[in-house]
Chain A
Amino acid sequence: MRAAALVFDLLLGACPHDMRREYGVAMRAHFASTVREGGAAAAFRAYADVVLSGLGERVAMLARDVAFALRGMRRTPVFALVVILTAAVAIGANGAVYGLLANVVLRPLPIAQPDSLLALWEVDSVHGYTSEAFTYEDYEALRRDTRTLETIAVLRPVSGTLVGAGGPPLSVRGASVGGDFFAAYAARPQLGRLLGARDERDATPAVVISDELWRTRFGGDPALVGRTVRINDTARTVVGVAPPRFLFADLWRGQIDHADYFVAMAPGAARRTGHSVLVVARPTAPSGAVDADLKRIFASLAVARPDTGAGLSARAVHVTDAILGPMRPSLVAVGLAVLAVLAVACANIANLFLSRGSSRAGEIATRFALGASRRRLLTQLLTESTLHVAIGGVLGLALAAVLVHAVAGLIDAAAPVIYLQHLEPDWKTFAATGLSIVLAALLAGAAPALALTRPDLVSAMKSADRSSAGTGRRLRGALVTLEIALAIAVVAAAAIATRSYYDLARQPLGFDTANVTVAFVGGASPRRYDTAARADALLQAIRARVDATPGIASTAWALTTPFIGESQTSFRVEGAHYAPGNEPIADVDTVSDGYFGTLRIPLLAGRDFSRRDVPSGAAVAIVSRSFAERYLGGVRAAIGRQLTAEMSTLDVPVRPRTVVGVVGDMRPHVATRAAPTLYAPLAQIPNLSWVKLVVRTPLNTQQVAEAVTAAVGAADATMPRVTATSLEHERAVDALDRWLTDVMLAALAAIALSLAVAGIYAVVSYGVARRTREIGIRAAFGAGPRAIVTMVLRDALRLAAAGIVVGLVFAGLAAWALKEFLDVDAPVDALTGLTVLAIIAGSIGIAAYLPARRAARVDPVVALRYE
């Protein structure tokens, strides 16, 4: 019996609180009587009844509350609209930002086992940089000496020309892979087999082609396996087809990538760099053991090669961090900004409910008097705010979907990022948006509901003296302070980020992007052009033909151009002394004569490269102004100095080079500063693998691509078609992620500021309305309109002052975080500071002035009519 009663007590929880409080005792007594007469069967019937009826009552109550709230919304449509739109904007912004975050940062990489794959970073403790470009020697040492690694995959991007197979020569991107490359990505062949250890050991002429190439070039022919194709003049046997959509991490390019074909890595020059290494640790390896193992291996390498190995080591990071890491801070900044916007919106909605609630004080007091519990009223008020926010949230979700697609389209049009090509709102985005709706509803609804139902306030409200009923007045002030402070922080962050970006972007790049097209000339057979003279002859032939095309002003060859590719080297200046491995580092480029003229980079001293700088001639170099000033004693003094640098893997043996010219500095990226740069003549180190023809011409990129393709075809019919891009386009793409961050921050700042201003407006308006009687008395006693405006403005200013003070602290924090985590540094100068302050103060002023003017028009007769 006692047990049965206990179960009943427990099940009573299904009934709403009010019902339990009022009838709990009676229901228990009822249950006891029923059981006494009806036994166990009656007990179970009662259990079922209490659960079903209890829950039924809860649903009925909710339905009544929702119906009540809906009636309320119909009564005050403007209020409802303002709240709904506020919620929609904030939740929409949240959903959009979260949708992008989810797709870029939070989604697992589209590769197999992204969580166990570790990327290796080479750490140069002397120069303090990390890179992902290991040498073949490093990879061999890892494979030979490791005690903690289970799987080692190595990759080096290559490119080539596919000839034959019933089509014109096709330029293809490939990957030279070694170790357990396919095993690391858990790849299974779609056809035939993948590459294995034997291919690497025996250097078999095997090739695995991608699913895409198999379908587009070979028509998905299942008999392809075993046939021979020619890539870069080498006959290779197709041994298999990779699985569809096979993606892998290319740390060198810092992205998830795909390739058209895969060949086994052949032991080439041991010091050749550019190998990215991914590993999987043995499951038994304790944490920290991998890094210790790497340290040990590289320490022994340093002993083996004291000239270049000193100070080099490696550490392992999760591949996700390696690839997405650089994007994270800016997305986190945007994420924080969007949370601030949500907080401002919640504060705003809370304020609106508070203001309206105090005009409903009478209603609330009446319901208390009729015996409604505080809990019941709270539920009802919360239902009301939740309903408003939820309707706004649904609108916001639609807004988010539109925004995400717009932004993704923008990114996709400018710079295809593989992750964003399959952008889809996933359940996580919906869940997160749902969560933000619930959070917003609670934050916005709870404070006013609690304040409005405070028993002492209720009694105060019952009294006729409205002015003493400062319902949640302090709370409203605090909310406005918070709104202003957060809005200032977001506006400041946006201003700093935008300012620093435009500071950089406004500085001259040091070259002229207008009317410059870059043509990618690839696929020359390394076998056919195996000597410097032959390679140089090919480059000369192509360039001469393009130069002769009508409309082409000038041309030049380069291995890297602004925005496209970059490369660095360490060097030694003759006469200076360096500790081993302690040489300085500079950007390096290999270019032909005419490069500086074509890009309009000024020649400050000495001469340009010329046709006489041939492999057999004296080795020469040109340096940038900052290089000359920093390392060679100035622009004039630099001419004739000698320095030694490994310019490329083909530059063997390394010869000392004489500086023959100094050119102006240029910034290779929109958002970076100029770095000391060293140029070597391409004619002395011909390199056909990544060569680009830089063309100054008013012709469009398509026309340039046609002209260069014609020239290439005339020189060597086995080379593939040429693709081209304009430097203007590359400049636009270059700063896209930064631009996107800034645009999002600016948009969020605008939203936060408008919401905060609306909040101030609402509070000041409410204050004026509430004090109509007082203002009327003042007016009756002779206060002029000007005095009344001043009075209201002074009150508003007092309200805003606290927000501005707290906001400046927040802004300082935001500036610190931007510098610390994003390396975004803008001097908080008078212009930025004053602009932000002017925007904030101006907005606050307008928000306060409008109600103040209304107050000044108060007619004392009307205001005091009801006294």
Chain B
Amino acid sequence: MRSQIVKESLPLSSSGFHILLALADGERHGYAIAKVVEDETNGAVVLGPATLYRTIKQFLADGWIAEIDGDDDRRRVYRLTPRGRKVAQAEAQRLESVVRVARERRLLPALG
């Protein structure tokens, strides 16, 4: 049942997936998430303020991330929930299988 819900959420939007990825190795505040995403994608994905917080709002409602209580409204800190981690894993696996197909079709060089 739970995995069904996770599957229904896929594929994630690229900005959504990157936000989850950015939180995978620890809690971050909003602007830090955007910075990490921008660095890791070499500037290909730039999260604008409204896109970022709109997605954060949705993920909070879905229970994929949680807010860590703080007292600075300007720097709100978020962490991944176990459920969010499952969704991110499922999305990564989905992408992995896509990449595997791409390799079989020789769009990418074979691994090692």
The answer for the CA separation of A15 and B54 in the assembled complex, in Å, is 9
Q: Does B97 contact A (CB under 8 A)?
A: no
Residues on the A chain within 8 Å of B49, using CB: 26-28, 30-31, 34, 46, 49-50
Number of A residues with CB within 8 Å of any CB on chain B? 25
If A19-B53, A23-B57, A57-B54 touch, whether A29 touches B31 (CB-CB below 8 Å) is: yes
Sample 6 A-B pairs with CB under 8 A, ordered by A number.
Answer: A19-B53, A22-B53, A26-B53, A26-B73, A45-B48, A57-B54
Q: Does A413 contact B (CB under 8 A)?
A: no
The answer for the CA separation of A49 and B53 in the assembled complex, in Å, is 11
Residues on the A chain within 8 Å of B52, using CB: 27, 30
Q: Does B12 contact A (CB under 8 A)?
A: no
Q: Which of B34, B48, B50, B57 contacts A22 (CB 8 A)?
A: B57
Across the interface, name the chain A residue whose C-beta is closest to B46: A45
Chain A 2-49 interface residues, beta-carbon cutoff 8 Å to B: 14-15, 19, 22-23, 25-31, 33-34, 45-46, 48-49
The answer for the CA separation of A19 and B57 in the assembled complex, in Å, is 8
Evaluate contact between B50 and A49: CB separation under 8 angstroms.
Answer: yes
The answer for the CA separation of A57 and B48 in the assembled complex, in Å, is 14
- Further contacts, 7 of them, CB under 8 A, given A26-B30, A53-B51: A23-B57, A25-B74, A29-B31, A30-B53, A33-B31, A48-B48, A53-B50
Across the interface, name the chain B residue whose C-beta is closest to A11: B50
Evaluate contact between A27 and B53: CB separation under 8 angstroms.
Answer: yes
Residues on the B chain within 8 Å of A33, using CB: 31
If A23-B53, A25-B73 touch, whether A46 touches B48 (CB-CB below 8 Å) is: yes
Chain A 35-94 interface residues, beta-carbon cutoff 8 Å to B: 45-46, 48-54, 56-57
| CB 8 Å contact bits of B27-68 with A (1 = contact, 0 = none) | 000110010000000000010111111101100000000000
Across the interface, name the chain A residue whose C-beta is closest to B50: A53
Q: Does B103 contact A (CB under 8 A)?
A: no
Residues on the B chain within 8 Å of A30, using CB: 30-31, 34, 49, 52-53
Residues on the A chain within 8 Å of B73, using CB: 25-26
Residues on the A chain within 8 Å of B74, using CB: 25-26, 28-29
Interface centre among A23, A27, A30, A33 (most CB of B within 10 A): A30
Number of B residues with CB within 8 Å of any CB on chain A? 17
Q: Does B76 contact A (CB under 8 A)?
A: yes
Q: Does B7 contact A (CB under 8 A)?
A: no
Residues on the A chain within 8 Å of B94, using CB: none
Q: Which of B34, B50, B76 contacts A54 (CB 8 A)?
A: B50
Evaluate contact between A26 and B51: CB separation under 8 angstroms.
Answer: no
B106 to chain A, nearest CB (A): 37
Evaluate contact between B46 and A29: CB separation under 8 angstroms.
Answer: no
B61 to chain A, nearest CB (A): 10
Across the interface, name the chain A residue whose C-beta is closest to B52: A30
- Judged by DSSP, the binding face of B is helix
Q: Which residues of A contact B (CB under 8 A)?
A: 14-15, 19, 22-23, 25-31, 33-34, 45-46, 48-54, 56-57
Evaluate contact between B30 and A56: CB separation under 8 angstroms.
Answer: no
Q: Which of B48, B56, B75 contacts A29 (CB 8 A)?
A: B75
B75 to chain A, nearest CB (A): 7
Evaluate contact between B48 and A49: CB separation under 8 angstroms.
Answer: yes
The answer for the CA separation of A452 and B51 in the assembled complex, in Å, is 33
Residues on the A chain within 8 Å of B54, using CB: 15, 19, 53-54, 56-57
The answer for the CA separation of A744 and B94 in the assembled complex, in Å, is 66
A6 to chain B, nearest CB (A): 15
If A26-B74, A26-B76 touch, whether A50 touches B46 (CB-CB below 8 Å) is: no
Across the interface, name the chain B residue whose C-beta is closest to A56: B54
Residues on the B chain within 8 Å of A19, using CB: 50, 53-54, 57
If A26-B30, A26-B76 touch, whether A15 touches B57 (CB-CB below 8 Å) is: no
Residues on the B chain within 8 Å of A31, using CB: 49
Evaluate contact between B75 and A49: CB separation under 8 angstroms.
Answer: no
Q: Which residues of B contact A (CB under 8 A)?
A: 30-31, 34, 46, 48-54, 56-57, 73-76
The answer for the CA separation of A48 and B31 in the assembled complex, in Å, is 18
The answer for the CA separation of A78 and B13 in the assembled complex, in Å, is 40
Residues on the A chain within 8 Å of B50, using CB: 14-15, 19, 27, 49-54, 57
Across the interface, name the chain A residue whose C-beta is closest to B76: A26
Residues on the B chain within 8 Å of A34, using CB: 34, 49
Residues on the A chain within 8 Å of B48, using CB: 45-46, 48-50, 53
B42 to chain A, nearest CB (A): 15
The answer for the CA separation of A15 and B48 in the assembled complex, in Å, is 13
Across the interface, name the chain A residue whose C-beta is closest to B29: A26
Residues on the B chain within 8 Å of A54, using CB: 50, 54
Residues on the B chain within 8 Å of A15, using CB: 50, 54
Across the interface, name the chain B residue whose C-beta is closest to A33: B31
Interface centre among B34, B48, B50, B54 (most CB of A within 10 A): B50
Residues on the B chain within 8 Å of A51, using CB: 50
Residues on the B chain within 8 Å of A56, using CB: 54
Interface centre among B49, B57, B74 (most CB of A within 10 A): B49
B19 to chain A, nearest CB (A): 13
Residues on the A chain within 8 Å of B76, using CB: 23, 26
Evaluate contact between B57 and A49: CB separation under 8 angstroms.
Answer: no
The answer for the CA separation of A577 and B29 in the assembled complex, in Å, is 106
The answer for the CA separation of A46 and B34 in the assembled complex, in Å, is 12
Residues on the A chain within 8 Å of B46, using CB: 45
The answer for the CA separation of A410 and B92 in the assembled complex, in Å, is 70
The answer for the CA separation of A334 and B42 in the assembled complex, in Å, is 70
Residues on the A chain within 8 Å of B31, using CB: 29-30, 33
Across the interface, name the chain A residue whose C-beta is closest to B32: A33
Residues on the A chain within 8 Å of B30, using CB: 26, 30
The answer for the CA separation of A29 and B57 in the assembled complex, in Å, is 17
The answer for the CA separation of A407 and B66 in the assembled complex, in Å, is 64
The answer for the CA separation of A46 and B38 in the assembled complex, in Å, is 14
The answer for the CA separation of A34 and B49 in the assembled complex, in Å, is 9
Residues on the A chain within 8 Å of B34, using CB: 30, 34
The answer for the CA separation of A30 and B49 in the assembled complex, in Å, is 6
B67 to chain A, nearest CB (A): 10
The answer for the CA separation of A298 and B33 in the assembled complex, in Å, is 90
Residues on the B chain within 8 Å of A53, using CB: 48, 50-51, 54
A204 to chain B, nearest CB (A): 80
Residues on the B chain within 8 Å of A29, using CB: 31, 74-75
A519 to chain B, nearest CB (A): 82
A19 to chain B, nearest CB (A): 6
The answer for the CA separation of A54 and B54 in the assembled complex, in Å, is 8
The answer for the CA separation of A321 and B49 in the assembled complex, in Å, is 60
Residues on the A chain within 8 Å of B53, using CB: 19, 22-23, 26-27, 30
The answer for the CA separation of A26 and B49 in the assembled complex, in Å, is 8
The answer for the CA separation of A54 and B31 in the assembled complex, in Å, is 18
Residues on the A chain within 8 Å of B51, using CB: 49, 53
A547 to chain B, nearest CB (A): 94
The answer for the CA separation of A612 and B9 in the assembled complex, in Å, is 106
The answer for the CA separation of A49 and B54 in the assembled complex, in Å, is 11
The answer for the CA separation of A23 and B31 in the assembled complex, in Å, is 12
B17 to chain A, nearest CB (A): 17
The answer for the CA separation of A19 and B51 in the assembled complex, in Å, is 11
The answer for the CA separation of A57 and B50 in the assembled complex, in Å, is 9
Across the interface, name the chain B residue whose C-beta is closest to A57: B54
B54 to chain A, nearest CB (A): 5
The answer for the CA separation of A34 and B30 in the assembled complex, in Å, is 12
The answer for the CA separation of A50 and B57 in the assembled complex, in Å, is 15
The answer for the CA separation of A259 and B109 in the assembled complex, in Å, is 90
A38 to chain B, nearest CB (A): 9
Top 10 closest pairs, chain A to chain B, by CB: A49-B48, A53-B50, A29-B74, A23-B53, A27-B49, A30-B49, A25-B73, A50-B50, A53-B51, A57-B54
